[in-house]
Amino acid sequence: METIAQRIQRHQAFWDRTPVERPLIGFRIGDYLFANKFQAALPLLKEGKMITPDMLDVDDFLADYDRMYVQSLEIDQDAFWTAAPFTAIPWMEAMLGCEIRASEASFTSKPWLNDLADLDQVQLNEAHNPWLAKYLEFVEKLTVHSQGRYPVGQPILRGTSDMLGALRGQTNLVFDYIDHPDAIQQLAQKLTHIFRQVVQKHRETTTAFQGGYAMGFYHLWCPGPCLWFQDDLVALLSPALYRKYFYEMNVQMCQGYEYTLCHLHPTSFFILDDLLQIEGLKTIQINKDLGGPSIAEMLPEFQKVLRKKRLVIWGDLDQTDLELILVELPYEGLYVHIVAPTVAEAQHLRQFIETKEKRA
């Protein structure tokens, strides 16, 4: 098991894209569902149940976080397990006024902005937003509770297109950029600012960990303040609409942060070349999606990213996937984050990687 100093050194090498004998390695134990991993959330997972922030008692969640942290220590990995406000909640949607309802497996939001003439109603009042207050309560209490054992990072907070879709509905989003481009872009600008406002409040509420911060969900340590985002709903738009309206939003999202990451699904590979042109975007994370293209099929995209930026490959990776990655890709700036069903399987895959580290 490597020391904390050695793990920090490996993360620094990732950011510096210096030569290493193997990629950065991290594990998530479980599957692609997040809500049912917390015992404290199980009473909320009832079909159609309306969720309000007062239903989330942060203190009730702390034992779950400790359990996951201890579990992470059973695996020899580079990643620093990172706590984050309960990831299953669609936080940004809730802060923006969307109604949150539960199902038996997750939580979803309901669009409410039926008329773009009402976009002035979209705002984030820091002093009087109960969902923002609950989010920051998670950040503050987790920071105190961790006692320096683990960092507290940003969970899934979506991105500009996803927030637009949450407020307007996905069908309306597509037509808005044809019928009301000026109004929808004004809203997009506002939402980008609000997103960055929330990330800034998060950073001000937590403390540094080992001289840096960490990206929640990916458990990626950074030498300084960091931000990550996703724009999954650009997959509904054309390349021309992305370049005309969303590219600049992605540029703005990264401004002021030296350590940045954009989450990307294969369905949005058509924007990859554009993302690679954003100087402020340091890392691109690509999913191995259920039912999506294989690791072998995505190798050209992986190689393209690694020629210019850092790459995080995330998903249910098996030995065949890992062998392809270890043989076909350069290791500089590469982080492999594996979703493993059990600790035993994670240990098995870590052992497999270790046997491949002899490659020059």
d(CA 249, CA 245): 7
Average pLDDT, the chain: 96
Query: Mind listing the pLDDT tens digit for each residue in 76-134?
Result: 999 999 999 999 999 999 999 999 999 999 999 999 999 999 999 999 999 999 999 99
Cross-strand partners of 164: none
pTM comes to 0.96
Partners of 230 in beta bridges: 263
The alpha carbon of residue 303 and the mean position of all alpha carbons in its chain are separated, in whole angstroms, by 22
CA-to-CA distance for 218 and 180, rounded, in angstroms?
A: 36
Within 10 Å of residue 169's Cβ, how many Cβ atoms? 17
> Would you give the end-to-end CA distance of the chain in angstroms?
22
Domains of the chain by residue range: 4-355
Q: Which residue, 11, 2, 3, 1, is CA-closest to 211?
A: 11
Nearest alpha carbon to residue 307 among 319, 318, 299: 299
Q: How far apart are CA 270 and CA 235, in angstroms?
A: 8
Q: Please report the pLDDT score of residue 2 as a whole number.
A: 87
Mean pLDDT of 305-309: 98
pLDDT of residue 15: 98
3-state secondary structure 297-349: HHHHHHHHHHHHCEEEEEECCCHHHHHHHHHHCCCCCEEEEEEECCHHHHHHH
Q: What angle, rounded to 10 degrees, do the helices at 181-205 and 130-146 form?
A: 30
- Is it the case that residue 360 has pLDDT exceeding 70? no
Please, are residues 83 and 148 in contact by the beta-carbon 8 Å criterion?
no
- What number does CATH give the domain 4-355? 3.20.20.210
Is it the case that residue 34 has pLDDT exceeding 90? no
Nearest in space to 154 (alpha carbons), one of 233, 249, 60, 219: 219
Q: How many CB atoms lie within 10 A of CB 24?
A: 24
C-alpha–C-alpha distance, residues 219 and 216, integer Å: 5
Return the DSSP state at 289: -
Band of pLDDT at residue 190, cut at 50, 70 and 90: very high
Amino acid found at 229: F
AA identity, residue 86: F
Q: What is the pLDDT of residue 357?
A: 65
Give the list of residues 6+ apart from residue 112 with CB closer than 8 angstroms, or none: 97, 98, 99, 167
pLDDT per residue as tens digits for the range 252-287: 999 999 999 999 999 999 999 999 999 999 999 999
Which residues is 335 bridged to in the sheet?
A: 24, 312
* Residue 141, CB-side half-sphere exposure with 13 Å CA sphere: 18
Give pLDDT, residue 237. Answer: 93
pLDDT (average), residues 222-240? 96
